[in-house]
């Protein structure tokens, strides 16, 4: 746990696999303590406390409630799942949050019109680019796709909020898979992350919001090109780990709200929809 950043990715992306589920390695502590109790070994029990201390140093602060009141801008992001059987119900649930900005990932030709129709009454401005969409209560300009993959899975827009312009990126990085022979297949995701990072480095506005399904956690060293220089809303203003996938039993937070030049006031996950991801939300101070 302490040296996760040094685990190499050359062989099956082992480092990324460990880092994706890094908090769960704390479960080794009660196992080691139980084995020490069975062996009646005080030395083994004392040794088992070392990973406990490491886990607490890494994640103890995550368990604290860091949410506060207020915020100038509320953002919601959700991978709605391209096979969602109830896009209308999902759209209504998301609109009920009152979010100022709503980003949706994994739209399809079948579901995109349903979301556009269901959200039209709540959001005056929106744009769908490929499989991602952005709905806003404030005017959007300079909207366009961001080339991270051969087909469009990311967009960039400027939201003209009452407190000035904010650059908004909504992205869905390439999926990852676990194969017995090849290990953690994340090469395509890593390449799409590098392309997104190139776009972010070229961004001229000082205030930037990056939302979406990054198919990886902020602990994953392979995503540093994107996460470096950005603040995680959940880590700085959340309550707990805010795990988002899979929705039935969340094991990892792969849906992110990242900020630059903006302070998070609060971050949280929303109740499940008919998607396999949980929605994420944050209140931001501009």
For 226-253, write each residue's pLDDT tens digit.
Answer: 999 999 999 999 999 999 999 999 999 9
Specify the pLDDT at position 27: 95
In a domain, 196, yes or no: yes
Query: In sequence order, what are the residues at sequence separation of 6 or more whose Cβ sits closer than 8 angstroms to the Cβ of residue 279?
Result: 76, 77, 78, 94, 255, 269, 270, 273
Is 91 among the domain residues? yes
Tens digits of per-residue pLDDT, 117-169? 999 999 999 999 999 999 999 999 999 999 999 999 999 999 999 999 999 99
* Mean pLDDT of all residues in 171-187: 86
More confident call, 120 vs 183: 120
Cβ atoms of 93 and 114 closer than 8 Å: no
pTM for the model:
0.95
What CA–CA distance (Å, rounded) separates 24 from 177? Answer: 19
* Same domain membership, residue 48 and residue 143: no
Asked whether residue 39 falls in the same domain as residue 178, the answer is no
pLDDT band at 181 (very low <50, low <70, confident <90, very high): low
The number of folded domains in the chain is 2
Strand order in the sheet with 132-136: 125-129, 132-136, 101-105, 73-79, 280-285, 263-269
Rounded (10°) angle between helices 42-59 and 28-39: 170
110 with 17, same domain?
Answer: no
Q: Are residues 44 and 95 in the same domain?
A: no
Q: Is 144 exposed, middle or buried (0-12, 13-18, 19+ CB in 10 A)?
A: exposed
Confirm whether 68 is domain-assigned.
no
- Cα–Cα dist 156/200, whole Å: 10
Q: What whole-number distance in Å separates Cα of residue 141 and Cα of residue 250?
A: 35
The distance of Cα 23 from the centroid of its chain, to the nearest Å, equals 16
Q: In DSSP terms, which residues pair with 161 in a beta bridge?
A: 164
Residues above pLDDT 70, as percent of the chain? 99
Residue 157 has what pLDDT? 98
Mean pLDDT of 5-28: 92
Question: Are 122 and 242 contained in the same domain?
Answer: yes
CATH number for position 229: 3.60.10.10
Domain boundary among 45, 63, 81: 63
Q: Are residues 44 and 77 in the same domain?
A: no
What average pLDDT is seen over the chain? 96
Q: Both 188 and 53 in a single domain?
A: no
- Confidence at residue 277, expressed as pLDDT on a 0 to 100 scale: 98
Q: Are residues 141 and 223 in the same domain?
A: yes
Indicate whether 92 and 232 sit together in one domain: yes
Q: Is 88 among the domain residues? A: yes
> Domain range for residue 16?
4-63
Lowest mean pLDDT among 63-67, 86-90, 144-148, 184-188: 184-188
Residues 79 and 221 in one domain: yes
For residue range 53-64, list pLDDT tens digits in order: 999 999 999 999
> Is residue 125 one of the residues assigned to a domain?
yes
Q: Say what the pLDDT of residue 11 is.
A: 80
């Amino acid at each position: 746990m302490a040296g996760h950043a040094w685990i190499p990715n050359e062989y099956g992306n082992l480092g990324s696999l460990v880092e994706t589920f890094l908090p769960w390695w704390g479960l080794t502590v009660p196992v080691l303590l139980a084995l020490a109790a069975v062996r009646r070994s005080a030395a083994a029990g004392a040794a088992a406390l070392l990973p406990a201390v490491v886990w607490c140093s890494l994640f103890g602060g995550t368990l604290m409630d860091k949410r506060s009141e207020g915020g100038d801008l509320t953002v919601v992001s959700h991978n709605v799942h391209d096979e969602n059987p109830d896009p209308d119900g999902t759209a209504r649930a998301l609109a009920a949050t009152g979010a100022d900005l709503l980003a949706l990932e994994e739209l399809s030709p079948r579901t995109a019109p349903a979301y556009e129709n269901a959200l039209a009454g709540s959001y005056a401005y929106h744009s769908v680019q490929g499989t991602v969409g952005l709905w806003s209560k404030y005017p959007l300009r300079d909207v366009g796709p961001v080339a991270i993959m051969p087909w469009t899975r990311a967009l960039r827009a400027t939201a003209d909020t009452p407190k000035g312009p904010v650059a908004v990126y909504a992205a869905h990085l390439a999926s990852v898979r676990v194969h017995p022979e090849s290990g953690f297949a994340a090469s395509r995701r890593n390449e799409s992350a590098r392309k997104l990072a190139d776009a972010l480095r070229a961004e001229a506005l000082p205030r930037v919001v990056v939302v979406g399904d990054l198919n990886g956690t902020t602990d994953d060293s392979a995503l540093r090109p994107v996460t470096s220089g950005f603040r995680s809303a959940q880590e700085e203003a959340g309550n707990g780990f805010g795990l988002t996938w899979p929705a039935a039993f969340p094991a990892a937070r792969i849906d992110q709200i990242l900020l630059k030049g903006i302070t998070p006031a609060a971050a949280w996950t929303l109740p499940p929809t008919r998607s396999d991801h949980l929605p994420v939300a944050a209140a931001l101070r501009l």
